[in-house]
Structure 1
């Protein structure tokens, strides 16, 4: 919790594994594991109360589901570290932990892995350009196992921790050199990100459905009022042409016009690439093509690349998805270059229809552009498709509990793939990163309904080793896990037979 969205003390990301590992190695194997699980459950529940929009019952139920597998590396280490040499024992723990992190994050996303605590550690972040975000987790877990091994060892041999010390010093030196020796960026393009809270629309929906007014707290898009509105939207979709929804339909039209007007203003101010936040325009499916035509006309008139993010409401289906989550990139010639649909809807929160997960690259005068949407960026294997692009347009939606933590975690995708990231965010902090993970601009979310973020973004990305080797550190970790556990088992049976 201290290193997560609530307090964001990055140092605790290094200290907590040390403390837990010291405890489990000093305790009875099963009791130590169960106490560690209980500790993580308590931390998870407390953190969830601050950050999760889910009901408290769901938070409590999910805590053991996460905590039991999360503590498995500590349990394996407890049973096996004494049966290996100090050096091999120090490698086993991070190898198991990173292998498990990868397997879990392919299902539940990389948010919450150990490395995600290090968004402020710029020198360490550079290691992601070589080994990816899991490479950062590996060195953090290795730090814990090495230091705990040294603290509990009766033999104070430098050989036990010299490999770790040399490795971490080289990583930090590499990061310092990489971040401080980048050549001056000359070729840039002005980019604008637009995020407008849709409260006027949702208030109109609620009033038309229930016949009473409701006011949404601008500082908390996940307020109880929003819960009531989410229940009202399906009622509207059952018969959106009903005359009682005239106010709602007018609000939708006016909101679309507002976004186009804001885009025109940014174009007049010199922005050549304009991006809207995730689903910033709610729109009925029947109105989609007409609005795209208006956006194309604007792109041609202002000679800009315009990425419009829409939540396209589907015809009412009680058991099916409610909408399509789209980002449509339009060229200055009015051509639709990319029609991307969010590949990874947020479980239990996002009722959109999943896209095919294909991230296209489009060559332009301002470099190679590509698009993804919010939660997609929490899946490194999916985002590896962005490698070779120069600018990633990443419309997003957050909420008070996870902002700016969630947005800051996209820095790893920038460094891994050598791309700049433009992330306009509804109900959260908007941010723009360069390919080295440096924030070019930030705009806080919770002070006004209309937020514009601008920056001059490099039109050239940079090559990274990670782009060529991918998650090699994960495969090495899995191999080490298998080999070391096999060694321990073989030696155990050999000793039993003798």
Structure 2
């Protein structure tokens, strides 16, 4: 018999063999599981916040609620992360959103666009960084204002420092159609909407971190006051008084397509068109001009007192410009109307081979002004900008002013004491609707009716409270014509009087809060290290 060695096992009571000893779960294992859970939570917040932000960028797929949700998620992400790691991810999230906006709006990528949007994304990240650095150095009620003040100030700085205006980066445009809420911009400018949305995110995060009913009540009172006051403005002081019939006309698709086919034969673009033999381009250009003149006669006979052509409606070589304008003058004189025409001049002498102009003609056939576009689209339109002085004239139908398309994306420029603002425009299918919606904010904050005749987009007339008076989509008809009865008297808004005082107040507030925070000791709490109380930072 072979002898086997037997391991001595402990014997328990009553002679039973005891089980091997198992070490209890250690605090270290618990901490690791908590850390993995916290890390997963942070990545989910970042993914959901970034995904939601794609539908709140001022594009054709915007969802109003998305603008309120994504800052909540991204702000929570930054508060649960290390300062600089979280900031970098937020910057990348905004770059993703910017790229999505360019793609879904069919704007086209260029070095100018990519560089500009990367810089804008960095500017949009600063409020998150400010909140992360200041929130634990300030009293909770004061700290709650750091993020909204930063967002409002950042949106304002985008229009001051960049060539993009409010085309990208303004949360106010995502709330298009919510007229009671939007009335606040008649006091604060568009920055007030960004402040309210960011204040909501700050409040939710405060409750999320330290449940309390007090902060929710304070925010609820603020938002309810804004909405009720806006509703009261709409109900108690609607635009009243005399109106004027205004018609917006665009050339028919038939003559437009024929002209485009002619111009596309010149490989050098504006340079080639400017120097092309007149016999090759004038027939198609004249066909568009005649079509516009016929539409103008028709609308004048129907009762229109002001007729608006879109931006670049009339394309002409410089040598033919005087004759083209003279034909429009003759039509205005015969129809006894104010006629605003958009002219694209191809020139061999202008620095960028052309000009983008709007010409207003009175019922006597006199040219009241020739206004040149002040804000060419960055990376796309290369002609020299105008001086940015918005022309205004007194008429029997109120004070009429005029800018061109992209100019309306710059609120400071649009501070004009006028009753009716004419905005001839020329967009494209993917961007025409959203761009017209952005322009509606200028009607509310500046207190005038706004007429945006968009040749390849959505033409719309708004009153000074943002109500849609008429609208026509160029891509749903072969001949785009819009007719609206427009109030001849605007209003003077608080924003019109004080300008960007609210934005400057927010910018000053961020600076004051920063210095206040520096004077206070750093509180070493879970939030200040960017972690959950039971986890370590990622």
Asked if Structure 1 and Structure 2 have the same fold, meaning a TM-score greater than 0.5 normalized by the shorter chain, the answer is yes
Cα distance change on mapping 1:483 and 1:177 into 2, 3 Å: same
How many Å separate the matches in 2 of 1:358 and 1:184? 27
State which of 10, 15, 20 in structure 1 corresponds to 2:74: 20
**Secondary structure of 1:440's aligned partner:** strand
- Checking the alignment, whether the CA contact within 8 Å between 2:245 and 2:483 is kept in structure 1 is yes
Alignment partner of 1:297 is 2:330: yes
CA distance in 1, matches of 2:317, 2:198: 49
CA deviation map 1:424-452 (0-9, x unaligned): 00110100000110001110121334201
| Residue 362 (structure 1) shift | 0.7
1:267–1:302 CA contact under 8 A, matched in 2: yes
CA apart distance, 1:298: 1.0
User: For residues 366-423 of structure 1, what are the alpha-carbon distances to aligned partners after superposition, in whole Å with 9 as ceiling and x for unaligned?
Assistant: 1110101111100000001x2x211001101111222211101111100111100010
Deviations 1:263-308 (A, max 9, x none): 1111011110000111111111121222222211111111100001
Structure 2 partner of 1:2 = 55
Mapped to 2, the partners of 1:171 and 1:117 lie a distance apart of: 17
Give the Å deviation of 1:137: 1.3
Deviation per CA, 1:24-61: give whole Å up to 9, x if none.
Answer: 11222222222222222222223322113313787666
Query: Which of these residues, 408, 415, 418, is aligned with residue 437 of structure 2?
Result: 408
2-structure distance, mates of 1:381, 1:466: 10
Write out aligned runs for 1:73-472 (5 A). Answer: 73-106=127-160, 107=162, 108-112=164-168, 113-153=170-210, 156=212, 158=214, 160-183=215-238, 185-196=240-251, 198-207=256-265, 209=266, 231-237=268-274, 239-240=275-276, 242=277, 246-315=279-348, 320-384=351-415, 386=416, 388-472=417-501
- Whether the aligned pair in 1 keeps the contact of 2:463 and 2:486 (CA below 8 Å) is yes
* Distance of 2:503 and 2:233 partners within structure 1: 23
What is the DSSP-based 3-state SS (H/G/I as helix, E as strand, rest coil) of the residue aligned with 2:519?
A: helix
1:6 touches 1:47 (CA, 8 Å); kept in 2? no
Q: Which runs of 5+ in 1 are unaligned?
A: 210-228
Point out where structure 2 has 5 or more consecutive residues left out of the alignment.
1-53, 525-538
Deviates more, 1:166-175 or 1:41-50: 41-50
- Secondary structure (helix, strand or coil) at the match of 2:429 reads coil
CA distance in 2, matches of 1:291, 1:44: 41
Cα distance 1:357–1:62, how it changes in 2: closer, same or farther (>3 A)? closer
Matches of 2:443 and 2:115, distance apart in 1? 34
Deviates most, 485-494 or 104-113: 485-494
Is the CA contact (8 Å cut-off) linking 2:60 and 2:433 kept in structure 1? no
Report the Cα distance in structure 1 between the residues aligned to 2:109 and 2:435, rounded to whole angstroms: 20
Work out the CA distance in 2 between the residues paired with 1:423 and 1:394: 5
Task: State the alpha-carbon separation in 2 of the partners of residues 201 and 321 from structure 1.
Answer: 21
Do the aligned partners of 1:234 and 1:316 also contact (CA within 8 Å) in 2?
no
Q: 1:178-229 CA distances to partner (integer Å, 9 max, x unpaired)?
A: 112234634111100112353321211234x4xxxxxxxxxxxxxxxxxxx6
Distance 1:390 1:294 in 2: 28
Q: How many residues align?
A: 464
Q: Does the CA-based 8 Å contact 1:380-1:413 persist in structure 2?
A: yes
**Whole-angstrom distance in 2 between the partners of 1:482 and 1:162:** 27
Contact 1:392–1:420 (CA<8 Å) still a contact in 2? yes
SS for the counterpart of 1:87 is helix
Which of structures 1 and 2 has the bigger CA Rg? 2
**Deviations, residues 313-345 of structure 1 (Å, cap 9, x unaligned):** 12166xx31211111111111111222111111
Q: Is the 8 A contact 1:10 1:117 kept in 2?
A: yes
Distance in 2 between residues matched to 1:59 and 1:293, nearest whole Å = 39
**SS of residue matched to 2:55:** coil
After TM superposition, the structure 1 stretch with the greater mean CA deviation from structure 2, 372-381 or 41-50, is 41-50
Q: Please give the alpha-carbon distance, in whole angstroms, between the structure 2 residues aligned to 1:436 and 1:327.
A: 26
- TM-score when normalising by structure 2: 0.82
Q: What is the Cα deviation at residue 87 of structure 1?
A: 1.2
Q: Deviations over 1:225-244 (max 9, x none)?
A: xxxx6x4442232x32x3xx
Change in CA separation of 1:493 and 1:150 when aligned onto 2, cut-off 3 Å: closer
The alignment yields a C-alpha RMSD, in angstroms, of: 2.0
SS in 2 for 1:463: coil
Q: Which residue pairs with 1:52 in the alignment?
A: 106
Aligned equivalents of 2:325, 2:504: Cα separation in 1: 44
What's 1:223 paired with? none
The answer on whether the counterparts of 2:457 and 2:474 sit within 8 Å (CA) in structure 1 is yes
Q: Say whether the 8 Å CA contact 1:204–1:248 is kept in structure 2.
A: yes
Report the Cα offset of residue 135 of structure 1: 1.3
Instruction: Measure the CA separation in 1 of the matches of 2:136 and 2:490.
Output: 47
Contact 1:87 1:161 in 2 (8 A): no
